[in-house]
Amino acid sequence: MLTLADVHAHYGKSHVLHGVSIDVAAGEVVGLLGRNGVGKSTTLKAIMGLVPASSGKILFEGRDLVDLPAHRLARLGIAYVPEDRRIFRLLTVLENLRTGLDRHGVTEERRQALLEKVYRHFPVLRERRGQQGGTLSGGEQQMLAIARAMMLEPKIILLDEPTEGLMPRMVSQIREIIQVLHADGVAILLVEQNVPLTLQVSNRVYIMEKGTVRHQAAASALRVDSAVIHQYLGV
Amino acid sequence: MTGRAGFWVSLTVAVALLAVAPLVLPEFWRRFLTEILIWGLLAMSSDILIGYTGMVSFGHSAFFGIGMYGTAAALLTVTPPNLWLGLLYGLAAAGVVAGFVAFFATRLRDIYFSITTLVFSQIFYVIIFTWTEVTGGENGLTFRQPAFWIPGVVEVRFTPVTLHWFVLGVVTVSYLLLRRITQSPFGTVLQSIRENEPRTRAIGYAVERYKIVAVMLSGIFAGLAGVLYAVQNKFAAPDFVFFLVSGEVVIFNVMGGMGTLVGPVAGAGFFFLLRELFSRYFTQYYLIPVGIIFTLMVIFMPQGLLGFARRRLH
Amino acid sequence: MPYEQILIQTVNGLVSGMILALVASGLTLIFGIMDVVNFAHGELFMLGAYVGTTTLVATGSFWAALLVASVLIGLLGAALQITTLRPLLGRDPLTTILATFGISLVLQNYALWQYGPVARKIQEPFTGHFRLFHLEYPYYRIVIALLSAAIIGALWLFMKYGTYGIWIRATTQDRVMAAAMGIPVPLVHTGVFAIGAAMAAASGVLFGPLVGVNHAMGVDLILRAFIVVVVGGMGNLGGSVLAAIFISLAESFASIWVSPAQAVIVSFVVLILTLLFRPTGLFVPTPK
């Protein structure tokens, strides 16, 4: 469904992606692992067009994403949850959700249903729905960022380090929601530092180093203490 | 021909052409050329800020106008009218005003700086416009043209041609001075401020101080242009202090090419030529087509005429 | 203390403050969402006043004039944004100042060409005065202030509720994530510019009867509007309204003692003080 073929990207003069090739099939959860700074987040940004791809192809359902205006991606079914969450701080929780909810062709009933679903999984959002996004705690903002993406009813969600800086209890919540999304048939491209979590929720993982993919495997074939994991992520 | 020799040759050729021109051109065009030089100097001074330091100033009309009024003050209060005194008063007045504006405005970045300089232009405009007893208010001041004199050597009235040469001389020297400054370490710091101010600050440069000096430098040369204008035209008027004049100067900068010093002079020439051309068909509404051309240039040719020419030559 | 004079000037200050607020709101909205300092805003105001006079002459209705001017100039604003500002997105903000400055020159001279240098008058929609002490104060002025307040209020409601209000606020805060959420950011930009233009045009029609309508009426206004926007906090709608009223009142009071031409200096002083001590805006609660 989503294919990156030999994608290169630059931040100004520095060459950050050196030919990344990745595939995500419909409904799959794919993990992207690697040390800090190898280009995992940049890969997601390249898909979203936040970092221009200097060469290579990025295809979604056969469609070339490279020259598409940024706001079309959501309509194609791609949702993005960035590393620093980036919720709309001055909008209320509900308004944040509405940025994804208020779409063309969505009936009022379906909207209510979507909202209810998200409130069920993240009860704290229901409580705080009238509060400004900026007043939420870090973990709550992460919930909101994911919930907001879910409002788009996407085919794939690009998740960038969702568990960073979160307490273990919230990490469990993240794990749960990924599994719920997977059960709903939503594909996920997950960038993470948390190896155990990634191996638990993913079907497949890619491991990146120095701006390119070095290794690919089914998640079930890897353990936290696998040699490969040690090689590319070991401390 | 490349490099330094090439530069000096082109400069000499240009100056020679400009010096010979008034001898062959009819009066109207002679005067036209002299005015281009004066406005060109004003635009050059503005380029120090816009092109090199990255600060858009709408305050140049203030420095220009005050230079004019300073000269007027000298020429009206001291008899016989003394050219050098006029120059001194004009530069001093412009320098003081520039220092004043620099003090307030350089604390601010970008758009706030621009708006503040605009406001200062208007403050001075209002003061000059309403303080009729001193500044002549709406009507401005008129005075006699001083003679060119070097004590003990020569004292001679200006003719249109010799005045042109005087202006050409001043502008050429100013250009060489400004060029020297922009190529000096000081100039390099200014450009670094334009490229990346936070990094320049992080490296350890006292950015505010550099900005203040840049504004004062710019203001003094703008004042010099005002002195020349006063000497040539024998009057000073508040219209020149109005912020729209600064806007026109910025147009010269953009049209000619920011950060090139010579570009703005070409820009001034280009603007005035366009004005002449369009006045034939649009009379006083020449700014409609000229404004459209300017806007299009901002969008499609932001490097200006000179930048465009440079690209073509490579 | 000339007591009645102070009261008259207070009312005058409030009236012109509301009109200034209407113009400044559009300006600050545009800046907040797309970092564009719209130098041509004064000319949109001026053209609004001219379209108003023409419509008034044609239809005899002040309200038609208000409506037609707002809609037409709103469309003009949209056209300008699409042709000249969209290509500049992402470039140095300096270029948008220059581009809008160029546009302002063109529009000013276009008006001069089309309508001539002589000022026109818009008839007040209703005459009649009421007594303010033993002075007659025209009803019309109060009505303009109320209308301006109503328009600003309508804008505030639009921004607070409704999908498009959310779109605008989201795009203002984080253009990138707004686009990621599927909000058509380029369209929102054009829409906001059009709204700002329409508001400026409406102010032009409202203000028309007070001063004459001529091609240079925007020049003076734009300076004041910039000052209001900076003092109020750039992008801050409420701040602009407060700043507009504050500055207008200060100028009105000042003109009791000095000429109106000199009273203008008050706003300059306020700006400079604000920039020195509270550069994020006088009425912004927490400096960022």
pLDDT tens, C74-89?
Answer: 999 999 999 999 988 8
Task: Indicate the average pLDDT of chain C.
Answer: 87
Q: Is the pLDDT of residue B30 over 90?
A: no
At residue C287, the pLDDT reads 42
Neighboring chain C residues of A71 at a CB cutoff of 8 Å = 178-180, 182-186
Q: Kindly report the nearest CA distance between residue B112 and chain C, in angstroms.
A: 8
At residue C131, the pLDDT reads 64
Contact status, residue B174 vs residue B225, Cβ threshold 8 Å: no
List all residues of chain A from 46 to 65 with a beta carbon under 8 Å from chain C: 48, 50
Q: Is the pLDDT of residue B1 over 80?
A: no
pLDDT > 70 fraction of chain B, expressed in percent and rounded: 98
Q: How confident is the model at residue C260 (pLDDT cuts 50, 70, 90)?
A: confident
Contact C180 A95 (CB under 8 A): no
Pairwise pLDDT comparison (A73 vs C143), residue with the higher score: A73
Contact C173 A88 (CB under 8 A): yes
Neighboring chain B residues of C87 at a CB cutoff of 8 Å = 299
Condensed to tens digits (0 to 9), the pLDDT of residues B121-151 reads 888 888 888 888 778 888 888 888 887 877 7
Neighbours of chain C (3+ CB pairs under 8 A): A, B
Of B56, B104, B130, the CB nearest to C262: B130
Of C84, C93, C95, the CB nearest to B302: C95
Joined tokens for residue B241? 């202090």
Mean pLDDT, to the nearest integer, of C164-183?
93
CB pairs under 8 A between A and C: 62
pTM: 0.89
List all residues of chain B from 124 to 153 with a beta carbon under 8 Å from chain C: 126, 129-130
CB pairs under 8 A between B and C: 102
Pairwise pLDDT comparison (C127 vs C206), residue with the higher score: C206
Contact status, residue A214 vs residue A208, Cβ threshold 8 Å: yes
* Residuewise pLDDT in 10s, chain A (235 residues): 999 999 999 887 888 999 999 999 999 999 999 988 888 999 999 999 998 888 899 999 988 998 889 899 999 999 999 998 899 999 999 999 999 998 888 888 999 999 999 999 899 999 998 999 999 998 899 999 999 999 999 999 999 999 988 888 889 989 999 999 999 999 999 999 888 899 999 999 999 988 899 888 888 888 777 778 878 877 5
Give the C-alpha separation, B150 to B154, whole Å: 5
Strand partners, C80: none
Contact B122 C88 (CB under 8 A): no
Of C93, C112, C265, the CB nearest to B110: C93
Pairwise pLDDT comparison (B241 vs C283), residue with the higher score: B241
Q: Is the pLDDT of residue C123 over 60?
A: yes
At residue B136, the pLDDT reads 80
Mean pLDDT, to the nearest integer, of B57-64?
90
Task: Indicate the average pLDDT of chain B.
Answer: 86
Question: Could you count the other beta carbons within 10 Å of the beta carbon of residue B284?
Answer: 10
Neighboring chain C residues of B294 at a CB cutoff of 8 Å = 98, 102, 105
Strand partners, A158: A80, A189
Give the C-alpha separation, C158 to C150, whole Å: 12
Residue A147's φ and ψ, nearest 5 degrees, are -60, -40
**Number of H helices and number of E strands within chain C?**
11, 2
Contact A90 C169 (CB under 8 A): yes
Mean pLDDT, to the nearest integer, of B66-78?
87
Of C261, C262, C279, the CB nearest to B112: C279
Helical residues (DSSP H) of B153-286, grouped into ranges: 160-183, 185-195, 197-203, 207-233, 243-256, 262-282
Q: Is the pLDDT of residue C126 over 70?
A: no
Neighbours of chain B (3+ CB pairs under 8 A): C
Q: Is the peptide bond before A52 cis (omega within 30 degrees of 0)?
A: no
Instruction: Identify the burial level of A90 via C-beta atoms within 10 angstroms of its C-beta, where 0-12 means exposed, 13-18 middle and 19 or more buried.
Output: middle
Pairwise pLDDT comparison (B258 vs B111), residue with the higher score: B258
Pairwise pLDDT comparison (A158 vs C58), residue with the higher score: A158
